[in-house]
């Protein structure tokens, strides 16, 4: 095995923790984060790679020639981006396929620098989220007027959520405000007696706030032995759900919707 200097090991350690950090930030489950970080380290010449995850941090240690380097990074939750997760996995696969070639660390670093983090424009996301909420309302027997109100509510709520997230509002406050706006628009079907079933509009307008992806990840982490981070993700998910409920109740109380028991 080619001797690896301390400086080279530092670069490899930073690459491995960068890989794990990006995976955590963009929604990968813990088993994938640990597996890809270790595979990248082995491919770059490390004899051992140890990775420990927390809900908001990652700690990684590389071992080479009986020399250890440990680093810790804080994570910041980003929106789910499966395209980015696939790109990272492809980088690791290409690095493993190129073992033994020169400048492998430089090539891998360049690949991470060129990651495509582009996302769809907010207006397009808003339209499609509104359309999905409207489709759900229509499939559940809502009239065309109910479907139209649900579309507007879902679209405006999603645009609000994107705006608040972009300006780094607390995620729970963001969900409360988003749920409030969605329910407020959807509940106008009660207030103005629109359509055949106003319950459908209110229920469908807040579907964009269902934290299905994080919830699945939390269960997957617990089942695969990452209990601490799994419980942390589950609690975070339940708090998001509670925040959505608070926003919905605030809107219904404001409009004095008696049908819901207020």
Q: Are 49 and 101 in contact (CB under 8 A)?
A: no
Between 115 and 260, whose confidence is greater?
A: 115
Sequence-ordered list of residues with C-beta below 8 angstroms from that of 178, at least 6 positions apart, any chain: 157, 158, 160, 161, 164, 208, 209, 244, 247
pLDDT score of 260 more than 70: no
Give the model's pLDDT for residue 262: 33
pLDDT in tens, 89-145: 999 999 999 887 778 899 999 999 999 888 889 999 999 999 999 999 999 888 899
**Phi, psi of 38, rounded to the nearest 5 degrees:** -70, -45
Residues 6+ apart with CB under 8 A from 90: none
Supply angle C-alpha 198, 200, 201, rounded to 5.
70
Residue 5 predicted with pLDDT over 80:
yes
Contacts (Cβ under 8 Å, ≥6 apart) of 41 = 12, 13, 16, 49, 62
> Quick one: pLDDT at residue 261?
38
Where residue 66 falls among pLDDT bands split at 50, 70, 90? confident
User: What pLDDT was estimated at residue 172?
Assistant: 93
pLDDT for res 119 = 84
Let me know: does 14 contact 72? Beta carbons within 8 Å.
Answer: no
pLDDT at 198: 82
Q: d(Cα 10, Cα 71) in Å, to the nearest integer?
A: 9
What is the pTM (predicted TM-score) of this model? 0.85
Q: Considering only CA atoms, which of 188, 166, 185, 165 is closest in space to residue 240?
A: 165
Residue 258 has pLDDT above 70, yes or no: no
| Higher pLDDT pick, 220 / 197 | 220
Share of the chain above pLDDT 70, in %: 97
Residues 206-219 have a mean pLDDT of: 88
Q: Using the 8-state DSSP alphabet, how is residue 194 labeled? A: -
Measured between alpha carbons, how far is 163 from 156 in angstroms, rounded to an integer? 11
pLDDT of residue 89: 95
**For the chain, percent of residues with pLDDT exceeding 90:** 59
pLDDT of residue 1: 47
Please, which residues bridge with residue 62 across strands? 49, 69
Confidence of residue 259 (pLDDT cuts 50, 70, 90): low
Across the range 6-13, mean pLDDT stands at 93
Among 143, 132, 144, 147, residue whose Cα is nearest residue 207: 132
CA-based nearest residue to 251, from 196, 147, 172, 180: 180
The model's pLDDT over 170-205, given as tens digits with 9 standing for 90+, comes to: 999 999 999 999 999 998 888 788 877 888 888 899
Q: In the beta sheet, which residues pair with residue 64?
A: 67
**pLDDT tens string 230-252:** 998 899 999 999 999 999 989 88
Coil, strand or helix at 3: coil
């Amino acid at each position: 095995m080619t001797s690896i200097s301390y400086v080279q090991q530092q670069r490899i350690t930073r690459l491995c923790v960068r890989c794990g950090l990006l995976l955590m930030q963009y929604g990968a489950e813990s088993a994938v984060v640990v597996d890809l970080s270790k595979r990248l380290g082995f491919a770059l010449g490390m004899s051992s790679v140890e990775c420990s995850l927390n809900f908001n941090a990652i700690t990684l240690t590389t071992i080479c020639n009986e020399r250890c380097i440990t680093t810790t990074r804080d994570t910041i939750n980003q929106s789910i981006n499966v395209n980015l997760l696939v790109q990272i996995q492809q980088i690791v696969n290409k690095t493993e396929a190129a073992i033994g070639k020169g400048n492998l660390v430089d090539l891998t670093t360049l690949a991470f620098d060129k990651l495509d983090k582009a996302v769809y424009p907010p207006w397009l996301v808003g339209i499609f989220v509104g359309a999905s909420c409207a489709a759900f309302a229509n499939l559940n027997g809502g009239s065309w007027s109910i479907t139209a109100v649900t579309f507007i509510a879902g679209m405006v709520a999603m645009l609000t959520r994107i705006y608040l997230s972009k300006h780094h509002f607390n995620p729970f406050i963001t969900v409360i405000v988003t749920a409030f706006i969605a329910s407020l628009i959807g509940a106008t079907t009660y207030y103005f007696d629109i359509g055949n079933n106003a319950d459908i509009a209110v229920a469908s307008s807040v579907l964009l706030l269902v934290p299905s992806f994080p919830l699945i990840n939390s269960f997957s982490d617990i089942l695969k032995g990452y209990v601490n981070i799994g419980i942390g993700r589950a609690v975070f998910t339940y708090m998001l759900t509670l925040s959505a409920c608070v926003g919905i109740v605030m809107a219904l109380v404001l409009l004095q919707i008696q049908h819901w028991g207020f």
